[in-house]
Chain A
Amino acid sequence: MLKFLQTLDRRWIFLLMFFAVAVPLIMGTTFPEKPSDQVLSVFDAVDNLPDGSNVVMAWDYDPASEGELQPMASAFTRHCALKKHNLYFMTLWPQGIPMIQRSIDLLESEYAATYKGKYGTKFVNLGFRAGNEGVIKLVVEDLKKSYSSDIRGTNLDNIPLTKNLKNIQQVDLLCNVSAGYPGSKEWVLYGSSPFDIPTVVGCTGVQAPIMLPYIPQQLTGMLAAIKGAAEYEQAIINHYPELNEIPAAKEGLKRMGPQLVAHVLLISLIALGNVIYFWERKQGTPQ
């Protein structure tokens, strides 16, 4: 048995992990989520704003991180749409443009009464700008120095939403979903921290420990990885029960089933690995 486990082909572990993720996904297994204080502070930051407030949606991620970040980007969009906020989409990642389009499609299909055909008056897509943190530094001081036109080439002075917007400091909230550099950290360093812009972020698990020290003074709240997205979805559903009928509003919750089973498998494998290690030591097997 020990010999078998010592020489086990790693591909059997991959197969086990595949089943651990695939089976709960196909079965649609979900577990109840209780929103944490951190997630509730994000929820309150969006929900406590008066209806029709101005919110910047900075989507700094690409299709490679979609599995982890799309549920929280959709949840942010849905929540803002329920509050009828005016949305300014922008990205510092070239591949972020299709990600913004997904959120716009969601607005126009699920909240057609508020957003369909309201481009320029209820939402605007500023698109991508190269320059990483340089762009953030410009938009917080003078938006039109960096963005003279929107993604369609329309001058910002001809768009009702941006006509009188001098800079990002004038908006009520900054929502950022980020997969790395440039992203959440740069928005805190060059946006929220020096200019006190209320900011909430959703980021990957890899970034979460880096962002934690900024809460709560420099950052209002953070959704950390898919767990944060699931808790945020639950918080929105608790306050807006009509979303319970929309399967797409529970994407994050749906992904937590596979997380639980995969984590149980991982913990079991770590425990098994340690048992084998100490067994080998006891038996005096050469390392």
Chain B
Amino acid sequence: MKQSTLIWTLLMVFGGLSLVAIQLFRGKGEVYVREVSVEAKSSLPDSAEQTYRWSTYQQVPEKEKDMPGVSLSLSRTIGLWVAAFCTLAIFSFLYGDNPLYKFTESVFVGVSAAYAMVVAFWTEIVTNLFAKLLPDLARISFFPDMESGVQHNWLYLIPLVLSVLLLWRLAPKGNWIARWPLAFFIGATAGIRLISYLEADFIGQIQNTIMPFIVFSADGSLLWIKSLRNTIVIVGVLSCMVYFFFSVEHEGIVKYISRLGIWFLMVTFGASFAYTVMGRIALLSGRLDFLFNNWLGI
């Protein structure tokens, strides 16, 4: 084993064990909840009013753990420890690729995909398709609040058929059928996007660039910061467009304007990169805040 690898391995193991020891010794990393009673009244047109009571649990700070009605939530405590473990396991990639990281990454991908699928099933297939095609059955099965006597909306058979055709790709024969719904989706999406981009990104941006070079206030004095800003925007847009205009050779004055365009582009890329760095640091501080505040209770 290389010396640097040994040092880092010792650091990681020591750091991990220290965190667990601190946690066990301090008795932190517990989640407390307060039971909140909820009462609701409901009635159907042809029946008497009924009262329903149930409880919800609201998370409270640890300092309130001895107050009446507050108790330890075992499920949320386990969740907190799992979240802390997953965060540390993902961070372990900084040391180097390892089985712990790979396991946590796979769990994350799997859980995200499964979650998205379940949510989409209940919000789209059940609520938006099943309830439209068979409203009475949907009311009895899932949505007691749905009005009775809602008419079937047979138009929803079209997306149902398109979805079935799309799944035909998995069939051993005739998987070309899946191209028809795909063609419909691509055509519809292209049409919708074309109009919006033309309106908001093309025409809208031309309108936004039509601005005065020199700006005066109501009393006639020169607003030089606003004037400078407008000038930079106009010069920047024009020089960047010249840089991407390849129908004329970039020589003479065109060469200098396109070079100015490159400078504007470089500044834009730099700003984008800086914003990205800021975003990544914010994400890191978010996770560390979770570890220090929610888990370790520092």
Cβ–Cβ contact A153 & B286, under 8 A: no
Question: Are B281 and A189 in contact, CB atoms less than 8 angstroms apart?
Answer: no
- By a beta-carbon cutoff of 8 Å, the part of chain B in contact with chain A is 4, 8, 58, 94-95, 112, 115-116, 119-120, 123-124, 127-128, 131-132, 142-143, 145-147, 192-193, 196-197, 199-201, 204-205, 207-208, 268, 271-272, 274-279, 281-289, 292, 298
User: Are A158 and B284 in touch, CB under 8 angstroms?
Assistant: no
Do A155 and B200 touch (CB < 8 A)?
no
Contact for B145 among A64, A95, A153, A188, CB less than 8 A: A153
Say whether, besides A11-B8, A94-B116, A128-B123, A205 and B208 are in contact (CB < 8 Å). Answer: no
Query: Could you tell me which A residues sit within 8 Å of B by CB distance?
Result: 9, 11, 14, 17-18, 21-22, 25-26, 64-68, 70, 94-95, 97, 105, 109, 127-130, 133-134, 137, 148-149, 151-155, 157-158, 188-190, 193-194, 204-206, 208-209, 213-214, 217-218, 224-227, 254-255, 258-259, 262-263, 266
Give B293's nearest chain A residue, CB to CB.
A25
**Inter-subunit contact B131/A259 (CB<8 Å):** no
Partner of A149, one of B115, B127, B275, B276: B127
B145 touches A133 (CB 8 A): no
> Roughly how many angstroms separate A29 CA and B298 CA in the complex, as a whole number?
14
Q: Which residues of A contact B197 (CB under 8 A)?
A: 189
Q: Which of A109, A158, A194, A227 is within 8 Å of B278, CB to CB?
A: A227
A208 touches B275 (CB 8 A): yes
CB distance from B251 to the nearest CB of A (A): 30
| Closest beta carbon of chain B to A252's beta carbon, Å | 9
Say whether B192 contacts A67, CB under 8 Å.
no
Q: Is the CB of B298 within 8 A of A213?
A: no
A-B contact pairs, 5 of them (CB 8 A): A67-B287, A95-B116, A190-B196, A218-B204, A262-B284
The contact of A259 among B119, B285, B287, by CB within 8 Å, is B285
User: Are A11 and B95 in contact, with the CB atoms below 8 A?
Assistant: yes
In-complex Cβ contact of A209 among B132, B271, B286, B298 (8 A): B271
How many angstroms from the CA of A206 to the CA of B119 in the assembled complex? 27
Known: A11-B8, A25-B289, A225-B275. A134 touches B282 (CB 8 A): no
Sample of 11 further A-B pairs with CB below 8 A, known A94-B120, A258-B288: A25-B285, A26-B292, A65-B283, A68-B282, A94-B115, A153-B143, A153-B145, A206-B279, A227-B278, A259-B285, A263-B277
Decide if B147 touches A155 in the complex (CB within 8 Å): yes
Q: A130-B120, A189-B200 are in contact. Are A25 and B275 (CB under 8 A)?
A: no
- The answer for the CA separation of A242 and B286 in the assembled complex, in Å, is 25
**Residues of A close to B289: CB separation below 8 A:** 25, 67, 254-255
A153 engages B146 (CB within 8 Å): yes
B277 / chain A contacts, CB cutoff of 8 Å: 205, 263, 266
- Of B94, B127, B279, most A-chain CB atoms within 10 Å: B279
In whole angstroms, what is the CA distance A148 to B272 when docked?
A: 40
Q: How far is the CB of A232 from chain B (nearest CB, A)?
A: 14
Q: Which residue of B lies closest to A132 (CB)?
A: B189
| B interface secondary structure, majority | helix
By a CB distance below 8 angstroms, the chain A residues around B145 are 149, 152-155, 158
> Are A209 and B285 touching (Cβ within 8 A)?
no
Check A259/B281 contact, CB under 8 A, given A11-B8, A26-B298, A67-B286: yes
Q: Is B132 within 8 A of A148, CB to CB? A: yes
Nearest B residue to A11 via CB reads: B8
Q: Verify A209–B275 contact, CB threshold 8 A.
A: yes
Question: Cβ of B288 and Cβ of A9 under 8 Å apart?
Answer: no
The answer to whether A213 and B205 touch across the interface, beta carbons within 8 angstroms, is yes
Closest to B207 in A: A217
Contact A68 B95, beta carbon cutoff 8 Å: no
- Given A128-B119, A218-B208, A226-B278, check contact A134 B284 (CB 8 Å): no
With both beta carbons as reference points, the residue of chain B lying nearest to A22 in the complex is identified as B288
Judge whether A148 and B284 touch: CB under 8 Å: no
- A205 engages B200 (CB within 8 Å): no
| A206, B275: Cβ atoms closer than 8 Å | yes
Expressed in whole angstroms, the minimum distance between the Cβ of A112 and any Cβ of chain B is 11
Chain B, Cβ-Cβ closest to A129: B123
B282-A226 in contact (CB<8A): yes
In angstroms, Cα B285 to Cα A226, docked, is 11
Taking CB atoms, residues of chain A closer than 8 Å to B199 are 189, 193-194
Contacts A127-B123, A130-B124, A155-B146; is A225 near B282 (CB within 8 Å)? yes
- In the complex, chain A residues whose CB is within 8 Å of the CB of B283: 64-65, 67-68
Residues of chain B within 8 A of A259, CB atoms compared:
278, 281-282, 285
Shortest distance from the beta carbon of A150 to any chain B beta carbon, whole Å: 10
| Shortest distance from the beta carbon of A251 to any chain B beta carbon, whole Å | 8
Of the residues A22, A153, A255, contact of B282 by C-beta under 8 Å: A255
Q: Chain B residues near A255 (CB, 8 Å)?
A: 282, 285-286, 289
Taken together as a complex, chains A and B put the C-alpha atoms of A192 and B278 apart, in Å, by 27
CA distance A280 to B14 in the complex (A): 37
Interchain CA distance A218-B205 in the complex, whole Å: 9
CB proximity of B155 to chain A, nearest CB, Å: 11
